[in-house]
Structure 1
Amino acid sequence: MIRNERGAALPLVFILSTALFIIGTALLGVSVSQASRTMFQEKKEQAFYIAKSGADAVASYMIDNYNPVTLTEKAIDELNRNFGQEVTLGNGTFSAEIKKGPHDTIVIHSQGTVGNITNQVSLRLGLDEPRANMENAIMAEDYIENTGGFMVCCGADVVARESIRAGTSNIVGGELKPQYKGEFPPKLDFPNTTDWPEVPIGAVINQSGYYGEYNTSPDPFTAQPPSPETFAIHVTDSKDMHIVFNDFKSDKDPTITIGGGGTGIIHIYAHNIKVAGAITIKNSQKKKVILHVRNSIELAGSFNLDGVLLYAPEAEYTSTNGALILTGAMVVNNLSLNGASTVTYDATIANLINETRKFKRIEWSGG
């Protein structure tokens, strides 16, 4: 009987061993498959973050270097040549394609690759708040007084929210429009220069920076050297330049000459301008120049602006004796002039306000 029982147990042991082998093999297969899926998912996720980081880097570059005017088809082709090839990022690579979308939007398609695993994301860029076209030669948020009279040419109006009191006026192709109810361009913020180191004013300024107080005759009891009576600002590339002064003061006749080989907008900022003589900005090369003034403009001499958008929607502009000679356009709060004024409206300069618009991130998709 015992021998028979032992013989009967052998098939049972074989069956159990076979079952355990099959179960073990299945578990091993499941483990290998699970590990493979886990590795795939990890690489897929890594590729996603690489694609997203790549798209974000391309967006930052575009926001810093382009606006709706400068982002031409040619510029997009150049961006696609630069970012269309594989760029190493972390433990993988990414490539990006930039396309124009509807309603002034831009879409960045980015593909991340880790090993042989890829993932894609898309980032849509739009524009910040719309800017109104500057279709008037002079715009005043409050009133305009000009005892010397206006000579305004080239088909633009002189407008004010309140009254306009002017002497002999000759508005060629336009008219004086008091009680103006139309749209004004928005206010543009001054740069926050709290963390900007002060840069000395030299004969040529060719980089953005905070240049402190401009004063050709500072207090002799201070250590501040006198500012140069004449200096140049040269734009070097397609990036905008931001030249920030605290106050701009002079008892002489300061002259700023604009030049350089670049195409970016030159923004000149001053909280106040107070000049006893004449102040001149020469822009014979027709660079893009916006002069921002926050609080006040007080002049004894003339104000000669050749190819400049004077943008001072909160500033009081008073001139005791001198004339205003402007090619471009201007926006102020109040305008009081005693000298004869000649304004030549230039739409290209006036509408630089549209080029201050920037792209911004709107929507992510994919992944």
Structure 2
Amino acid sequence: MRNRKGSTIVMTLIVFTVLMIFGISILNLMVNENKMSLYHQYKTQAYYIARAGAEAVEAAILEMDEEELEKLNEKLEDNNKVDVEEILIGEGKAKEELIKEDNVLTIKSIGEVKGVKNILSKIMKEELRKGKTKIDYAIFSSGDIKLGNGTIEGNIGTNHSVIVANGNPNLNGDIYLTEKGNLSAPDWWEKSWVKTHYIKSGKEIHYESIKFPSFPINNSNIDLIQGGSNQTTISTSKDYNKFEVNANTKIYIDNTKEDIILKIKQFNLNNGHIILLGNNKLTIYVENMVIGSGSTINYEGNQKNTNVFYYGASRLIISGNQKLFANLYINNSELELGGSGSIVGNVYSNGGNIFLSGNSDITKGLIYAPKTDINFTGSGKAYGAVIGKTVNISGGGKVVYDPNYVDNSIIGGESTEKILFKPSHYK
């Protein structure tokens, strides 16, 4: 027994050591299991944060208007990649990256929680979008824009060249050119102007001629000739051979119950006045027309309610204090707006040249004549926008862009732009 003294202590130490090793192993296993559990938890959270970030970016893209989408496309075309600011979501964050290849936009989203990351991709497909031709220029022409003097408030653009020939034009806006375009201007003017504005490059824009209806059949031999103190009220649509209003006489159009259509072979206003009584539309189809000094159509009325279609070949002259609160459609002839002549409304032309001179003006409207040369001389003014084949501004002419007065609803043709993205799937 004396030879076995101390064996119990040895056995105890051995057992204690084994138990300690076993305990440490279990503890390490538990710690590792806990770490793995937290890792998977954070990984899952990071996945949902990445997903939330991708969906937030997708929602923002879907809510973008055309201008914002164009800017995004420009950035993607320059670099094929756009970084988005970090999005904080709960205890984590999402880092977003937009990548565009061909017609596919990929939202690469990296979710992160406590250093654990998860990555996923959301695919958005680009689609062709067809819509009405956009007008966002004070002046746009397919050919030259010649700025001698005058003032332009808004951007100008052309498919070919912008020429500032002489004088000192005041351009408060940017210039948009295609690869074919160039700016020809005195150095002193260009240096002064470029301080606050820019020359930008873009794609060609093509504005189509409007679809002008054929002159409706009119076999009438009825003449309406009024003058002096005579007054007439027209309450139904009618055809006239000759329609003449003289000597400050008023013709009332009772359009309170229905739209009124007048088809007239020869329309003469010699200091005569056409007055609307209601809010329905008045449409006048005119084969030949002469508007004398002091004449008015729908004076101070809503110009949207009145449309005048002119089919004559001779130049239409509005240059003696005439006031037209109407949309004017010109099929073949030239238009001369001078003196104190005024059109409150749109002018659409498929015809010859347009001349604005004297103190004439077109207010609250659009001059839309993509196949026509437009010339501003004297103090001719336009408020809205001007679309022409060429545009020449000299003297004190003025063009002010105002989108509130630009109505492109009847313009023919459609523009096709790759600026619309549709949600698709996760990758």
Q: TM-score range by the shorter chain?
A: 0.3 to 0.5
Higher strand share goes to which structure? Answer: 2
Provide TM-score, normalisation by structure 2: 0.41
Q: Which has the higher contact order (CA 8 A, sep 6+)?
A: 1
